[in-house]
Structure 1
Amino acid sequence: MKSNIHQSMSIIILAIAVAFGSYYIGSQIRETPNIESQSLLLTEEEAAEYLGISHSNLFRILSLESEDRSRVSVYDSYAYIPFIEIQGVRYFTIREFDKWVEYKMHNKSLVY
């Protein structure tokens, strides 16, 4: 008899743990941003569109930043638009753009 009570209690506790775990995992999945869309590489044209500026304006900003960057040896990570260059083509991510804009807004240096 005592064994049946322990077995029943164990099953109830296990069921509660599974239900709680499922709820917790489900809520975390809903709150997690879509990493795939934020890690997608954007071309210069797509990056300009994301920022709401023309491609020529983005190119001008990148050129000014490149000139400025060549004059300094140390700078903050988001002082300049982050990008990677593969075979001479620049690529950007939305996540890094958002961090760059936040840095520029915080440092009040978004004007070019």
Structure 2
Amino acid sequence: MSKHFLSAAIIILSLSIIYCGMQIGISNSNQKNKKEVSNLDKGLLTIEETAKYLSMSVDQLEEIIFHQDIERADLTSFDIYEFIPYIKVNDEKYFNKVQVNEWIKYNATEWAEINY
């Protein structure tokens, strides 16, 4: 009987070591994936990240913002996504990726042409 008990204990111990090894491997891969999250997946994008996301230069994006800000200042009301939405913190502009996507959709469906 002690031979069977020893064999069962060895099998259980082996299975538990294999299981723990698998859990550690899964945990490590999840941590690597979290570290590799792209900057474009974060909540707010800088003007450089937004320009890259829109496949344009920072100068082009700043020019669009400049002209849209002038247009927006003259209006009392406008559709929310008519102009690219951003927030300004300490003179730095930040963009919400979801709202940038909505701005793209709005301007694509309104057949807006942006030439500045």
TM-score, scaled to structure 1 = 0.64
Q: Does 1:105 align with 2:108?
A: yes
Q: Distance in 1 between matches of 2:42 and 2:84?
A: 15
Between the aligned partners of 2:113 and 2:104, the Cα distance in structure 1 is 7
- Percent of aligned pairs with the same amino acid: 28
- How far off is 1:110 after superposition? 3.6
Cα distance in 1 for partners of 2:73, 2:96 equals 23
Give 1 or 2: higher strand fraction.
Answer: 2
The total of aligned residue pairs comes to 76
Aligned AA (2:71): D
Amino acid across the alignment from 1:86: V
Structure 1 consecutive aligned stretches of length 4 or more whose deviation exceeds 4 Å: none
Q: 2:89: which partner in 1?
A: 86
Residue identity in the other structure for 1:111: I
1:64 aligns with 2:67: yes
Unaligned runs of 5+ in 1: 1-36
RMSD across aligned positions (CA): 1.3
Higher RCO by CA contacts (8 Å cutoff, separation 6 or greater): 1
Partner of 2:44: 41
CA deviations 1:47-78 (Å, max 9, x no partner) are: 00000000000000000101101111100000
- Higher Cα Rg, which structure: 2
